[in-house]
Amino acid sequence: MDYTIRAANVEDCKDIARMIMELAEYEKVSEHVKITQRDLEQDGFSKNPFFHGIIAEVPDQHKTKDGHTKIGYALYFYAYSSWTGRAVYMEDLYVMPDFRGKGIGKALMSKVAQLGMAAGCNQINFTVLDWNKPSVDFYLSQGSYNITTTQGYHLMRCEGEALERLAQP
């Protein structure tokens, strides 16, 4: 299948927002999505962006039945490990179901790895749901490993009212 991987631009935010919702529906957590197209435009394409993105795009002859040519994306941002230095965190990696198994997900992840290495990063970090066996198997096949089982780390979160309480002096 013919496709290209390219840097996302502000005009892609509508499609990124659509695919974020598709991913959330697949993960059965769509009620948690609060981000809007406008948020993506502001947070990803302002003077100091909070994230970067790449898009997988197919030519018009391969567009979806709904007319979409943007069929996958990855969002990432740079982080820092106090043990090993520069890192890249891949927040999302998504390919629309009809386009899976064609190397597009691997190409997106490979591009995030290339961009990270070009920025001096020595690791890529991301999360995957434990029940999502196809994705877990894919990431393992790319040389990734599960730090929860190998090092015992768990991803923790503080949000909402708990975050507001925590932020009080």
Tokens of 167: 């932020």
Which residue numbers are catalytic?
A: 139
CATH classification of 4-126, choosing from 1.10.10.10, 3.30.930.10, 3.40.1000.10, 3.40.630.30? Answer: 3.40.630.30
pLDDT attached to residue 155: 87
* pLDDT above 90 for 3: yes
Please report which confidence band the pLDDT of residue 154 belongs to, taking 50, 70 and 90 as the band edges. confident
Which residue reads 């631009």 in tokens?
A: 9
Domain ranges of the chain: 4-126
| Burial environment of residue 151 by CB neighbours within 10 A (0 to 12, 13 to 18, 19 or more) | exposed
Instruction: For residue range 15-40, list pLDDT tens digits in order.
Output: 999 999 999 999 999 999 999 999 99
Distance (Å, whole) CA 110 – CA 166: 37
pTM of the model: 0.93
